[in-house]
Amino acid sequence: MIPLQLRRIPAKVRQNQNDRQRETHMILYNSVGPNPHVVRMFMAERGIKLPMEEVDIMAGDNRKPPYLETNPAGQLPALELDDGTILTEIWAICEYLDETQPGDSLFGATPEARAQTRRWTRWADLNIIEPLANGFRYSEGLPMFKDRMRCLPEAAAGLKACAQDKLAFLDGQLAGRAYVAGDTFTFADVMLYCFLTFGIAVGQSLNPALQRVTAWYEKVGARPSASA
């Protein structure tokens, strides 16, 4: 997953973007699930409001026209830009909005801060989010996903265990900082929080022995954006 390159935007350009934001015709294609939750929570944190079009993934509407004409991969969410261009992948969508909308960045104000946010988002994605999500798809979610992707039911338990192992590593890392990527709340926290919330809902509970991860999860969950 390669994020869009962030650039710092001068104040005068920001003002022009304020005007464009009021005139935007962007549409967010939304559904249930952790991926859309990431974008909604991010938008809530940044104060970004966009019209949403709901797609019923439980009914399979994402796997047939007209949605496949928007996103041939059939995945949610997707962001339709003013010119009709479609952006998919939650990291790319959020970083695009972070660059183009006014307000304080959730990726960082300096090259070093942005690098740390991307580093830890990537780490969480590979080490916790992917095994957690595939552990669900290959077990509890198998009836929904077996005809949509290659599923390996025999791998489900091991993948769930891998996610828990890396949460234990993160618990140690949080001894020296307040949030996933440092002392500032960032996109890394948004992304990991939303997927852990999903994991808890489908039977992959947080280990209460991981006291720092638990405290971090509760702290992020108390933010108003968490319920977006």
Residue pLDDT, tens place only, 35-85:
999 999 999 999 999 999 999 999 999 999 999 999 999 999 999 999 999
Classify burial at 35, counting beta carbons within 10 Å of its beta carbon; exposed 0-12, middle 13-18, buried 19 or more. buried
Asked if the model's pLDDT at residue 5 lies above 50, the reply is no
Q: What is the DSSP letter of 223?
A: S
pLDDT at 148 (0 to 100)? 87
Q: The tokens of 125 are what? A: 């994605």
Pick from 132, 212, 191: which is nearest to 165 by CA? 132
At residue 52, φ and ψ (nearest 5 deg) are: -120, 145
DSSP 121: H
Give whole-number Cα distances, 120 to 1, 48, 189, in Å: 13, 24, 9
First to last CA, the chain: 24
Give me the pLDDT at residue 17, please: 47
Mean pLDDT on 196-206: 97
What's the rounded mean pLDDT across residues 101-120? 97
How far apart (Å, rounded) are the C-alpha atoms in residues 7 and 30?
A: 27
pLDDT of residue 24: 67
Confidence bin at 23 (pLDDT 50/70/90): low
Structural domains in the chain, CATH included, are: 11-100 (3.40.30.10), 111-227 (1.20.1050.10)
Whole-prediction pTM: 0.88
Q: pLDDT at residue 18 above 60?
A: no
C-beta separation of 183 from 175 below 8 A: no
Q: Output the six-digit token pair for 8.
A: 């710092």
Mean pLDDT of the chain: 91
Q: What is the mean pLDDT of residues 11-31?
A: 65
